[in-house]
Structure 1
Amino acid sequence: MFSFQDQFSAATKSNLQAQLDLINTLTAKAFEGVEKIVELNLSATRASLEEATAVARQLASAKDPQEALSLASAQAQPGAEKAAAYGRHLATIVSTTQAEFTRAAEAQIAENTRKVSALIDELSKNAPPGSEQAVSLLKAALSNANAGYEQLTKNSKQAVEALEANLSNATRQFTAAAEKATGATRAKK
Structure 2
Amino acid sequence: MFVFSSDQFAEAQKAHFANLFALTNTAFDGFQKLAELNLQAVKSNLAESQENVQAALSGGDLKDVFSAQGKFAQPAADKALAYARHVYEIASATQAELTKTVEAQYEQHNRSVQTFVDTFVKNAPAGSEALTALLQQTVAAANNTYESVQKASKQAAETVKSNIEASTAAATGAVQQSARRAVKA
Deviation at 1:65, TM superposition (A): 0.6
After superposition, where does 1:163-182 map in structure 2 within 5 Å?
163-182=160-179
Matching residue's letter, 2:134: L
Query: Is the aligned partner of 1:157 residue 2:183?
Result: no
Q: Read off the aligned partner of 2:154 and give its amino acid letter.
A: K
In 2, are the aligned partners of 1:95 and 1:164 still within 8 Å (CA)?
no
- Pairwise CA distance, 1:124: 1.6
Aligned equivalent of 2:67, options 44, 67, 70: 70
Deviation at 1:7, TM superposition (A): 3.0
Unaligned runs of 5+ in 2: none
Could you tell me which of 91, 95, 98 is aligned with 2:88?
Answer: 91
Q: Give 2:55's aligned amino acid.
A: Q
Map 1:133-148; keep pairs closer than 5 Å: 133-148=130-145
* Superposition CA RMSD, Å: 2.2
Deviations 1:26-80 (A, max 9, x none): 2222222122112112111111111111111222222211111111110111112
Once the two structures are superposed, the pairs formed by residues 37-52 of structure 1 within 5 Å of their partners are: 37-52=34-49
Shift of the alpha carbon at 1:171? 1.7
Which residue matches 1:118? 115
CA separation in 1, counterparts of 2:140 and 2:90? 33
Normalization by structure 1: what TM-score?
Answer: 0.86
Are 2:169 and 1:184 aligned?
Answer: no
Is 1:80 aligned with 2:77? yes
C-alpha distance 61-183 of structure 1, shift in aligned 2 (>3 A): same
In 2, Cα distance between equivalents of 1:143 and 1:9: 28
- Helix, strand or coil at the partner of 1:128: coil
Identical columns (%): 35
Cα distance change, pair 144–19 in 1 and its aligned pair in 2 (3 A): farther
Change in 2 beyond 3 A, CA 1:57/1:35:
same
Please tell me whether residue 103 in structure 1 is matched to residue 100 in structure 2: yes
Q: How many residues align?
A: 185
Q: Deviations over 1:135-169 (max 9, x none)?
A: 22222221122122212222222232222223222
Gaps of 5+ in 1: none
SS in 2 for 1:75: helix
Residue 90 of structure 1 aligns to which amino acid in structure 2?
V
Give 1:170 shift.
2.3
